[in-house]
Amino acid sequence: MDCQGQRVSESASQQVSRSAGQQGGRTSRMGFVVSQVPKCEGPGAPGVQFLSWLGRPASSQDEAISMNAIEIGTLRRVELRNVWKHEAMDFTPWLVENMDLIGEVLGLDLETIGREQAVGDFAVDILARDLGRDKRVIIENQLDETDHTHLGQLITYAAGLEAGAVVWVSRKFREEHRQALDWLNRGGDGSTEYFGVVVELLQIDDSKPAVNLRLIASPNNWSRRTIPTTTAGDPSGKYARYQQFFQRLIDELREKHRFTNARIGQPQNWYSFSTGTKGFQYGLSFATGGRLRAELYIDTGESAQNIGALDALGRERPSIEADFGESLEWETMESRRACRIAVYRPGSIEDAAASLEEHQRWAIDRLLKFKKVFGPRLSAAARYAEIPKQNILTTTESQITDERS
């Protein structure tokens, strides 16, 4: 018989194939995988194919087990307003608290700047920053289907805030709105990127609802890693080498260590990563003087608050450096607003390939140490770095330049 999308047994697994067809093989936030059950024919085939789909060899004994012993729940969608009653008061705050989920689906490390930021007579739902590129990110969310009003607002916000990326999150995208985002991505100069994200809630039997985010619109080259060749603007190929170095770095940090959401290296000499605590970032940069630097970068927007956070961590300096395994540089950077705690080694992007591989191994080791040693301490340090609301737009802009000193 044809078992695709049909009942695969008389057990509790009877709904799996139909649910799988609807979900298209995606992994839910709860950790279960929904996949398309293969098409199969012949007596006993449903049980055999079902066990193969679960990932172990099928046999006649397995077939009997699949019919009688395996219990599979029923996957269903849950109405968003059953969980978030109000868009501004419930859904937007939830997104702010779970910004890492948005970052994961986009492949970006995002940090929230604030909510309801004024743009003329309007207010953007969420303003964030892409740490890896130091760009403003606008996030607009809807519990209902997309509409023309929100599309117009998105373009207005992008222009008013000079955003580097615009993210539209909605329960359902009308096809003309998805096409509009694609058109905006094709027609501009690439300075602003537009993303469409579908949000849905999934539930197995009586389990808690789980959020599933699906990217349905993105810039044309977003899924491709493009390593630039030498151009007139980069006659030495230096920035292409930066991009290649950081591409390899973030790939390993993401795939082996789940350290970052970032997917695309940039042609720049630095990269910042989210700590999960606003005002604090992990960073790696090729600094001046032929040095490679790994760091915890502190910039809450106010110099005095940055120094307060540095001092709070400094009270634990002996135990921190013992845990880290080496001495660290504690820098107030008097000429600038931010502070940093850093470790250095000699290194340049001009070094030979073998040396660059050593730099990468060193960088990964130190960044993981920063997360292990400082991560549990940042919440306490952040209490010394509260950001006044009136300063949120002007003080959260990073002072990072193309060439970090």
DSSP state of 33: B
- Are 204 and 328 contained in the same domain? no
DSSP state letters, 376-405 = GGHHHHHTT-PPPGGGHHHHSS----SS--
Query: Does residue 170 fall inside a structural domain?
Result: yes
| Chain mean position to CA 318 | 33
Query: Does residue 92 fall inside a structural domain?
Result: yes
- Are 138 and 203 contained in the same domain? yes
Map residue 156 onto helix, strand or coil: helix
The domain tally of the chain equals: 3
- Are 209 and 250 contained in the same domain? no
- Are 290 and 326 contained in the same domain? yes
- Strands (DSSP E) found in 304-367: 329-331, 339-346
User: From the CB of residue 163, how many other CB atoms can be counted at a distance below 10 Å?
Assistant: 25
Domain CATH code at residue 378: 3.30.1460
Q: 209: which residues sit within 8 A by CB, 6+ positions away?
A: 78, 82, 83, 201, 202, 203
User: From the CB of residue 323, how many other CB atoms can be counted at a distance below 10 Å?
Assistant: 13
- Are 269 and 337 contained in the same domain? yes
Domain CATH code at residue 175: 3.40.1350.10
Q: Evaluate the CA torsion angle 11, 15, 17, 19 in order and state its sign.
A: negative
Q: Which of 217, 252, 285 is the last residue of a domain?
A: 217
11 contacts 68 by C-beta, under 8 angstroms = yes
Residue pLDDT, tens place only, 72-82: 899 999 999 99
Query: Does residue 232 fall inside a structural domain?
Result: no
- Are 244 and 378 contained in the same domain? yes
Query: Does residue 256 fall inside a structural domain?
Result: yes
From the CA atom positions of the chain, what is the Rg in Å?
24
Residue pLDDT, tens place only, 352-390: 999 999 999 999 999 999 999 999 999 989 887 664 433
Query: Does residue 284 fall inside a structural domain?
Result: yes
Specify the amino acid at residue 216.
I
- Strands (DSSP E) found in 312-381: 329-331, 339-346
Domain that includes residue 390, residue range: 238-395
Query: Does residue 302 fall inside a structural domain?
Result: yes
- Are 68 and 85 contained in the same domain? no
- Are 137 and 284 contained in the same domain? no
Res 64 pLDDT > 80:
no
58 contacts 48 by C-beta, under 8 angstroms = yes
Residue pLDDT, tens place only, 155-209: 999 998 999 999 999 999 999 999 999 999 988 777 899 999 999 999 999 999 9
User: From the CB of residue 216, how many other CB atoms can be counted at a distance below 10 Å?
Assistant: 15
Residue pLDDT, tens place only, 244-300: 999 999 999 999 999 999 988 889 999 999 999 989 999 999 998 999 999 999 998
- Are 62 and 135 contained in the same domain? no
Angstrom distances, CA of residue 109 to CA of 106, 134, 192? 9, 10, 17
Phi, psi (rounded to 5 degrees) for 120: 65, -130
pTM, to two decimals? 0.66
Query: Does residue 344 fall inside a structural domain?
Result: yes
45 contacts 38 by C-beta, under 8 angstroms = no
Beta bridge partners of 119: 122
Looking at residue 225, what is its pLDDT? 47
- b or e along 373-388 (b: 16 or more beta carbons within 10 Å of the residue's beta carbon)? bbeebbeebbebbebe
Looking at residue 68, what is its pLDDT? 62
Percentages (nearest 5) of helix, strand, coil residues in the chain: 40, 25, 40
